[in-house]
Amino acid sequence: LDPHSSFMPPEAFGELQDDTKGEFSGIGIVITMKDGILTVVSPIEGTPAYNAGIQAGDVIIRIDGKSTKGMALWEAVKMMRGPRHKVVNITVIRTDAQEAIEFPLKRDLIPMTSVRSGILKPGFGYLRVTNFRMSTQDEIKKHLTRMEEESKGLNGLIMDLRDNPGGLLAQAVKVSDLFLSKGDIVSIKGRTESTKQVYKAQNDEEDRKYPVVILINGGSASASEIVAGALQDHSRALILGSPSFGKGSVQTVRPLKEGFGIKYTIARYYTPSGRSIQGKGITPDIEVEYEIIEKKKKK
């Protein structure tokens, strides 16, 4: 099977539910196996890992001094989660760093809220989506309604999906549908014709025709790429930033006897124009590298 597939003992299978509901204590990163190597998809905003400076693409080589070579994904997750305020040491290697970097991280409760917003200037809204959970679409609708009422209608919206590692497919479809009235959103294709599924936009009574700019980077994955790809292919949004992660495979989870489970890949995601997201990601319409802009001092 591929790197996104795994056999899960009862403790790992039970914890799988934590990613979309409930609350857990950890360091706040989404990880994957990339070419057999434990890799950070992205840190979750506002968590110990994010605040310490762990970045998308960092390769985790040790957890509390134990090598991650040959370690299963669920084992790594189990080692990083644990009692709140207890320290776990993560050692990473980074492409542009000469030596390995060690991060002593104090575990904390991982925030479940996925949406924030604000008015940048009259008529222009900013929507920050950090992940796609069960309530994400409902949260987004509330934020959009508030901003639309506050500005007496929006003239433009920035949707920030940077370092958003994804989440639930159904929520990615619903969020895309908020800005599309017709056409395909995403299709799923496996090895057989019977696995093919196409998700289409539904005509909504609410009219959101204002321009949209979507921000992405190397930490934008999975559901984020579905939204960005759908709105890009329909010329509904301008995509700005750097190429996304490229997590375009579909997993299903099956329970086994005595609490065990198996997660395995069954298909791939394709954008409305037929582009595969897997390993390629979404290429921005305008590429802009991330930098921290400092205010210039007045002379």
Q: Are the beta carbons of 107 and 25 closer than 8 angstroms?
A: yes
Q: Which of 222, 242, 244, 249 is catalytic?
A: 222
Distance, in Å, from the CA atom of 164 to the CA atom of 171, rounded to the nearest integer, reads: 13
Measured torsion, CA atoms of residues 206, 209, 211, 217, in degrees rounded to the nearest 10: 50
Instruction: Give the residue among 61, 63, 102 at the shortest CA–CA distance from 79.
Output: 63
222 is catalytic: yes
242 belongs to the catalytic site: no
CB pairs under 8 A, 24+ apart, for 134-143?
Answer: 134/20, 134/21, 134/168, 134/171, 136/167, 136/168, 136/171, 136/174, 136/175, 137/171, 137/174, 137/175, 137/178, 139/113, 139/114, 139/115, 140/115, 140/175, 140/178, 141/178, 143/115, 143/116, 143/117
Catalytic residue from among 34, 42, 233, 242: 233
CA 217, CA 224: separation in Å to the nearest integer?
A: 10
Query: Tokens in use for 62?
Result: 């040790």
Among residues 34, 174, 247, 263, the one annotated as catalytic is 247
Residue with tokens 């360091």, as numbered in its chain: 27
Residue 159 to residue 260: CA distance in whole angstroms: 39
CA–CA gap between residue 26 and residue 36 (Å, rounded): 23
- DSSP helix/strand/coil, 48: helix
CB 260 within 8 A of CB 7: yes
Token digits of residue 178? 């908020």
| Residue 273 known to be catalytic | no
- As annotated, the active-site residues are 222, 233, 247
